[in-house]
Amino acid sequence: MSFDPSSLIYNDAGLVPCIAQEEESGEVLMMAWMNASAVAKTLASGNVTYWSRSRQSFWVKGESSGHVQKLVELRLDCDRDCLLAIVRQTGPACHTNRRSCFYTSIDDGEEVELMRPLV
Amino acid sequence: MSFDPSSLIYNDAGLVPCIAQEEESGEVLMMAWMNASAVAKTLASGNVTYWSRSRQSFWVKGESSGHVQKLVELRLDCDRDCLLAIVRQTGPACHTNRRSCFYTSIDDGEEVELMRPLV
């Protein structure tokens, strides 16, 4: 079956969440949002492209920072309302300069920092 | 710093997305939603508990199917608006009886089924 980005289920803002996972390590790096055009751009360019809700514009990951995400594979879930991008991440994925955005763990009711910013 | 579920950033419906990842394999299993009470229940019980948007009720994963998710670790992201649950999944995570909900890949514009339902 041929894939049509408009066949995904978008929220009221026209967005679908996309999880980025590092191909080699399997680490979950981040979650951000795409609209149908960002999905199409990601597939066409091979550069993971989100929709920035704060800036209301396309966000080619790493375009300014150099911390690009090269698309290895894009998957969709059973409900067609969530995407999983398998990527090769250059540098840190997080804007805090950490490898992953999920650097805080909840341990016995306390927030624990799992990783430090890369230097 | 002690963790307070109310310190997360919820959407207009009072929900935050939670990604479930299998501890051993690193496989991303599914994404579903939690409200603050579901976050608290998950941490208190060790059984991953979502909020079902369709049923508008708590959804203790596997309560009816037996396909429970035991919480290994709960993480939050830099923006405090997404959770990552590292879990031990019993049986398939997906309601289609597949190991993961992300069983469809987009390959050269075609949808490809990556895994079959478990029997």
User: CA A51, A87, A17, B112: dihedral to nearest 10 degrees?
Assistant: 120
What does the alpha-carbon distance between residue A77 and residue A109 come to, in Å, rounded to a whole number?
Answer: 31
Written as six digits, the tokens of A92 are: 């840190």
Structural Rg of chain A based on CA atoms: 15
- In the block, which residue shows the tokens 């911390």? A67
Residue A50 near residue A33, CB atoms below 8 Å: yes
Q: Phi and psi (nearest 5°) for B38? A: -65, -40
How far is Cα A103 from Cα A28, in angstroms, rounded to an integer? 10
Which chain A residue is nearest to residue B82, measuring alpha carbons?
A31
Element (H, E) at A49: strand A49-52
Q: What is the pLDDT of residue A108?
A: 95
- Give the whole-angstrom CA distance, residue A47 versus residue A62: 9
d(CA B15, CA A118): 31
Q: Are residues B101 and A77 in contact, defined by beta-carbon separation less than 8 angstroms?
A: yes
Closest CA to B35 of B49, B20, B19, B54: B49
- Closest approach of B1 to chain A, Cα-based (Å): 5
* Cβ-defined contact of B25 to A30 (cutoff 8 Å): no
According to the model, what pLDDT value does residue A119 have?
A: 79
Sort out which chain B residues have CB atoms less than 8 A from A75's CB and list them.
102-106, 114
Rounded distance between C-alpha atoms, residue A95 and residue B82, angstroms = 15
* pLDDT score, position B119: 80
Task: State pLDDT tens for residues A34-83.
Answer: 999 999 999 999 999 999 999 999 999 999 999 999 999 999 999 999 99
DSSP A67-95: --EEEEEEEE-TTSS-EEEEEEE-S-SST
Say yes or no: A46 contacts chain B, CB-CB below 8 A.
no
Residues of A in contact with B93 (CB under 8 A): none
Query: Could you read off the pLDDT of B31-80 as tens digits, one per residue?
Result: 999 999 999 999 999 999 999 999 999 999 999 999 999 999 999 999 99
Contact A32, B79 (CB under 8 A): no
What is the ipTM score, two decimals?
0.97
Q: Which of A76, A106, A107 sits opposite B104 (nearest CB)?
A: A76
How far away is chain B from the Cα of A1, in angstroms, using its nearest Cα?
Answer: 5
Which of A27, A43, A107 is closest, CB to CB, to B106? Answer: A43
A62 touches chain B (CB under 8 A): no
**What distance in Å separates residue B19's CA from the closest CA in chain A?**
8
Q: What is the mean pLDDT of chain A?
A: 97
Structure tokens at B56: 């508008």
What is this structure's pTM?
Answer: 0.97
Question: How high does pLDDT run on average in chain B?
Answer: 97
C-alpha span between A104 and A114 (Å, rounded): 6
CA distance readout (Å), A39 to A9, A28, A59, B107, B108: 12, 19, 12, 14, 14
B74 contact A CB<8A: yes
Per the model's pLDDT, the better-predicted residue between A119 and B39 turns out to be B39
